[in-house]
Amino acid sequence: MSSSAFLVNDSKYGFLKQLGLSEKNAGVYDGAWKGSGEVVTSVNPSNGKPIAQVVQGTLQEYNDTVAKSNQAWSTWVDMPAPHRGEIVRQIGDELRKNLEPLGKLVSLEMGKILPEGIGEVQEYVDICDYAAGLSRMLEGKILPSERPGHVLMEQWNPLGTIGIISAFNFPVAVYGWNNAIALTCGNTMVWKGAPTTPLCSVATTKIVASVLERNGLPGSICALVCGGADIGNAMANDKRLPLVSFTGSTPVGSKVGVAVQSRFGKSLLELGGNNAIIVADDADIEMVVRATVFACAGTAGQRCTTTRRLILHEKVHDEVVARLVKSYGQIVSRIGDSLEPNTLLGPLHSKVGVDNYMNTIEEAKKLGGKIEFGGKVIPREGNFVEPTIISGLPANSPVVMRETFAPIVYALKASSMDDAIAINNSVEQGLSSSVFTQNIANIFKWLGPKGSDCGIVNVNIPTNGAEIGGAFGGEKATGGGRESGSDSWKQYMRRSTVTINYTKELPLAQGIKFE
């Protein structure tokens, strides 16, 4: 392949060299850049053209990198938490300086539109700010002891070196959630990004590494190993990694979870989501339509929180579908290259995604589904498909019960709020959910023990677009992990229950006498 074929050498994409990328990039960082494994070519999903290449790591390089990150932990953990927070703050500042070029890279390599690409980097900046503040607020409890002259308390300590495996759809932000919080807690880390977004992994690591190196700290505090399933399997089975954070599909995540548990490690799983919006008969339909268009079609349906099921009260079903069809008709004219400013809907990330889209459309039609809008691959270069609305299927139809990572939404009918909640909870995943209603009784039923069984339970907003201040994650086959805000920091630490006796007596708990 000639040098002129790579977009990195095209002046239109000058931001790539601004990020330190070249035609061929080392994909392993442990304080120095290296890599002697398979050479992979990153492709722009908007036009199928090669962007640049990355040399992945070998298993030997992975093992060496983990060893170096383990060694760096001794330096990092000795820093007081507020000092660690200062380093994280500087990482956030360095990301701010690179907000636009890194956001453009996310858009170019993943395929999401430019405002979303920049927004993804902003999310990493925000979590750095959050983690810097957290560094002065990591807390434990002091509890009442039943024994005189004793103190009962909890102590939280970092785990050590953790593994982070992230997915293609958020190639920067998911690492950022883990990276910023885990650093503040005192951990070092080894990151394996998605094999199809390696340039995002390399560019992000270069930014983080520049801060570490400027402060005289080992670069292996935040190490990187680009690679495929062999590296991921090694991480899941590596006893040197007490925690593995995995973001990806439910089938792969279930294997990762079992592998990590078999060695008594901890896993933080962020897996699939067959998310639903319930629309009650008293809902503000204008709000519903505005919220639903982005929730269903935004990011070409490739968010784990994308709305895949619309559970519509039978009284408003036809109106909502008709208005959605009209809105969809307005956005198809703005399907295009993810970097173009007028684009509202970019491509699917890969040809595999296009195949899954078409297979799902065909299955839905065979099962009796009616294509209200879309349902076709767009005949142009790149991986473009039409956003699709399908009605007429029962809620328990196999194709409805299965998550498809594409802009396909099923319009389902419900006869009551209880019926709608049962449909919401009927799928194996439990990530995000929402209800649109003005009825206070509906709201509190939805939030209560007989309501949504998801980790994210919204009211009058869509299923996507979570803020960093809350814990992000889901239940059931979504994995149960929590990242980002609230007390998610506890996932990156171990808890010790401590009893201190400051007397000369030795009373036993529960009043036991052993004399």
Phi, psi dihedral angles at 110 (to 5 degrees): -85, -40
Q: Are 419 and 438 in contact (CB under 8 A)?
A: no
Buried/exposed code over 202-223 (b: 16+ C-beta within 10 A; e: otherwise): bbbbbbbbbbbeeeebbbbbbb
Tell me which of 61, 109, 116, 270 is the catalytic residue. Answer: 270
Following CA atoms 283, 286, 289, 295 in sequence, which dihedral angle do they give, to the nearest 10 degrees?
-80
- Per-residue DSSP letters for 130-180? HHHHHTTT----EE--SSTTEEEEEEEEE-SEEEEE--SSSTTHHHHHHHH
- Strand ranges inside 335-484, DSSP E: 370-373, 388-391, 408-414, 429-430, 432-436, 456-459, 471-472, 475-476, 483-484
| Nearby residues of 513 by Cβ (< 8 Å), 6 or more positions away | none
61 carries an active-site annotation = no
Q: Which residue has the tokens 């909640």?
A: 421
Its sign, for the CA torsion 480, 411, 307, 399, is positive
Q: Which residue has the tokens 């993810």?
A: 338
Following CA atoms 334, 340, 345, 349 in sequence, which dihedral angle do they give, to the nearest 10 degrees?
140
Angle, alpha carbons 72-76-77 (nearest 5°): 115
Q: Which residue has the tokens 């593994």?
A: 163
Query: Would you please indicate which residues are annotated as catalytic (active-site) residues?
Result: 270
